[in-house]
Amino acid sequence: MTHKGRIVSAVALTTLTLGLTACNDGEDAAPAQESPSASAPASSDPGAKSPSTDPSDDAAAPAGGDVAAPGTKFKIGDRAVLPFKYGTTKKGTVAVTVTAIEKGAEADMAAFGAKAKGMTPYYIRMKVENVGGTDLSYASLRLRGKLEGGAPTGVILIGDIQGKCDSEAAPRDFTTKGASYETCSLSATKTDPIAVASFEEGDAYRDSPVLWTN
């Protein structure tokens, strides 16, 4: 399958926004604008909107473990229980285990075009478990890569690199307690290595994300 890279330069901003339009199981890559750059693409669920969580969801009672408080830090391999909302109708509790943050090669960024020159990709691999047992089929969860200490990379990628870091939506049967799947979030940097994975969905976590580090 052929990838077509797309890069959008943000006016009056120092960060670089990268876009990748890919053919991904029927996904529509239609990013919404955010500060300082574009958000992740829409999922393969044609009726769903970009994931978000409101304060009432952050306080939702979990089934199968205490919800991690905003600002909690974990080690790679640790399991964090988190409130999750996708679109306007799907919400519940998930457990996320970051299994690895892997460094890729600059050549892997070829699909993003010339402006990606000098960028090193990192692959945040994770397992996502349905803890609450609600219907979260086709929902998509993304983690962001951060530099050591939690500083932003200055780059947000839209899309994935097939065969290297495939961003998978939840399967159709992700509707029962204990159901799980594996996915990958793509990040990149031109400066220091990415050493942190960050969960930032929902107002409370956006200001004080849950972090995984080595």
Task: Quickly state the pLDDT bin for 111 (edges 50, 70, 90).
Answer: confident
Torsion region of 47: left, alpha or beta (phi above 0 gives left; psi -120 to 50 gives alpha): alpha
Provide the edge-to-edge strand list for the sheet that holds 144-147: 73-75, 210-213, 194-199, 144-147
Give residue 74's pLDDT: 97
C-beta separation of 146 from 98 below 8 A: no
Phi, psi of 90 (to 5 degrees): -105, 120
Per residue in 113-168, pLDDT (tens digit) is: 888 999 999 999 999 999 999 999 999 999 999 999 889 999 988 888 999 999 99
Q: What is the pLDDT of residues 41-76, one digit of tens each?
A: 334 444 443 444 343 443 344 444 699 999 999 999
Contact between 4 and 21 under an 8 Å Cβ cutoff? The reply is: yes
Give the confidence band of 2 by pLDDT, cuts at 50, 70, 90.
Answer: very low
pLDDT at 14 over 70: no
pLDDT at 5: 40
Residue 65 pLDDT: 63
What is the average pLDDT score of the chain?
A: 78
Q: How confident is the model at residue 22 (pLDDT cuts 50, 70, 90)?
A: very low
Residue 200 pLDDT level (bands cut at 50, 70, 90)? very high
